[in-house]
Amino acid sequence: MTQQDTTRASVFAAHPGRGEEKSRFQIDYAAFGPLLALAILIGLGAILNPTFISIDNLENVLARSAFIGIIAIGATFVITSGGIDLSVGSMAAFSAATMIVVMNAAAPLASSGYAAIAAGVAAGFLVTVLAGLVNGAAITLGRIEPFIVTLGMMGILRSLVTWFADGGALTLDFAVRELYRPVYFGGVLGLSWPVIAFLAMALLGDFVLRRTVFGRHIAAIGSSEDVARYSAIKVSRIKLLAYVVQGVCVAIAVFLYVPRLGSATPSTGLLWELEAIAAVIIGGTLLKGGRGRIWGTVVGVLILSLISNLLNLTSIVSPYLNGAMQGAVVIIAVLLQRPSQR
């Protein structure tokens, strides 16, 4: 896409998707590609091991994907605005560490375990929103490249977790954990809470990105910051908000993550940022900004989780080659959506 095209796409942002379609009957490869890759993957998996498509297995994979998924929904906003956030993995670890420390400290003082959980969750949200604000402010007010700001934040938060945990593990108080456990393992109508939260966040994210003024401004800024500025869009404020949205998404993911294993270690959330970014790009969001697809991101996350699940369920490939398989599928999935970007 040339610069001109990109700019035009933002003008058409009022009718998302339509600006890119050349005719009504042409297949939109960008939307279709990731779905096709997902379908192939599921088909292949079902042939290799029938367990793969069992409800229990899919439920496991969905629940596991929920953390990266919710974080990736936030990343879709940041990337659509033309930015990038490399600090989400460390932010998740830091938020988890904060939640656990506060819950453990509050448990003996609070009247009920639920109060301790509420205090911990509030603290966890507070730190991620703050981290998002600092990222956003350094990028907009400080005029530093997002890559550098968030790379710095990644290092700072990761070290803080290691320092908090003294290099070991922070473990949630046993009684609190038993109360909190159903948030990951419970659910309604056969769906676990993480899956429900993932779905709800996707619906909400899609609505905000496509149907609200905020979402359209994000895409417009990602297409061309200058044009957006001339159009009287408050560029700095919107960009800053995108990083705060990312922070909130991380906090929601961590809220679901902590009850799973009840611990945070220096390796918690390691490389989640790359998984989230990969999922966003597989889903058809442009890395340079201007076009975001929340549902594409959801499909991207599922593709990534299903690959590692499938590799665990089979013994065809040497486990040394897991990374190579994942890398290959990522590239193929993105290749499948190339025609529309020509």
Partner 1 sequence: MTLKRTLIAATMLGLAGTATAQEEKIRIGVSIPAATHGWAGGLNYHARQAIDRLQTQYPNLEIVLQTAANATEQVNDIEDLNSGTMTALVILPFESAPLTAPVKEIASQGVYVTVVDRGLSEPGIETFHIAGDNPALGREAALYINSKLPDGGEVVAMRGIPTEIDNQRVEGFKKALNSSIKILDEKHSNWNRDEGFAVMQDYLQRFPKIDAVWTQDDDTTLGVIDAARQAGREGEFFIVGGGGMKQIVQMVKEGSRQDVPVTVSYPPSMIATAIELTAEHFVSKIPLDGRYILNTSLITKENADLFYFPDSPY
Using CB under 8 A, list all residues that contact partner 1.
49, 51, 54, 56-57, 60, 64, 162, 165-169, 171, 185, 260-261, 263, 265-268, 270, 308-309, 311-313, 315, 319-320, 322
Provide CB contacts within 8 A for 241, sequence distance 6+. 136, 214
Indicate the residue among 163 and 207 with the shorter CB distance to partner 1. Answer: 163
Give 26 or 312: the residue with its C-beta nearer to partner 1: 312
| Nearest CB to partner 1, comparing residues 14 and 323 | 323
Question: Which residue's CB is nearer to partner 1, number 87 or number 265?
Answer: 265
The Cα–Cα gap between 131 and 118 comes to 20
User: What's the closest the beta carbon of residue 217 comes to partner 1, in angstroms?
Assistant: 37
Inter-residue contact 46 to 52 (CB < 8 Å)? yes
Cβ-count burial of 174 within 10 angstroms (0-12 exposed, 13-18 middle, 19+ buried)? Answer: exposed
- Asked if 49 contacts 313 with a C-beta cutoff of 8 angstroms, the reply is yes
Q: Which is nearer to partner 1, 36 or 151 (CB)?
A: 151
* Least spacing, CB of residue 271 vs partner 1, in Å: 11
The one-letter code for the residue type at 199 is L
The Cα 5–Cα 15 span in angstroms is 15
Do the bridges between strand 170-171 and strand 191-192 make them parallel or antiparallel, or are there none, so unpaired? Answer: unpaired
Contact indicator for 318, 285 with CB cutoff of 8 Å: no
| CA dist., res. 131 & res. 299, Å (int) | 28
By beta-carbon proximity to partner 1, the closer residue of 162 and 231 is 162
Output 7 or 60, the one with its CB closest to partner 1: 60
Q: Which of 145, 134, 87, 115 is CA-nearest to residue 269?
A: 87
Work out how close the CB of 160 gets to partner 1 at its nearest, in angstroms, rounded to a whole number: 13
Task: State the nearest-atom distance from the C-beta of 139 to partner 1, in Å.
Answer: 21
State the minimum distance, in angstroms, from the CB of residue 76 to partner 1.
23
CB of 57 to partner 1, least distance (A): 5
Which amino acid, residue 57? Answer: N
**Residue (19 or 187) nearer to partner 1, CB:** 187
Task: State the nearest-atom distance from the C-beta of 156 to partner 1, in Å.
Answer: 12
Task: Find the shortest distance in angstroms from Cβ 239 to partner 1.
Answer: 28
Distance CA 27, CA 49 (A): 32
Q: Tell me the DSSP string of 210-250.
A: HHSHHHHHHHHHHH-HHHHHHTT--HHHHHHHHHHHHHHHH
Burial, 338: exposed, middle or buried (Cβ in 10 Å; 0-12, 13-18, 19+)? Answer: exposed
